[in-house]
Amino acid sequence: MKLVRTRQNLAMWIIDVLLTLLAWAGLVWLLARGMNAMLETHGGPRLEAPIFAALNTLQIYLWIALFNAVILIAWARYQQRKGRKFAQRRAEANALSDQHLSESFNLGE
């Protein structure tokens, strides 16, 4: 499978990298904040209730992500096969030579 690569100017590339790094930093911050909130309670860290509830939610999210991945992969494979069949169909058409084209117009004579 080939990726389409287009050239970006330097400013757009820098903006893309900065936004990507900002998104990753936000994700790490949110994860750390959530884990800290689960572990930091007044009576000390209680591992039984909040973490298992979070793991159940995380399991649901992972099943949804897996389902989405299966759908996307199936759609990509379908488009790949469809594109291959279209390319084969287009490749089978032979170009007419000048002689054959001339003969096709003179069939009735």
pLDDT under 50: residue ranges of the chain:
none
Output the pTM of the full model. Answer: 0.38
* Distance of alpha carbon 16 from the chain centroid: 17
Residue pLDDT, tens place only, 12-30? 889 999 999 999 999 999 8
The total number of residues shown for the chain amounts to 109
Q: What is the DSSP letter of 42?
A: T
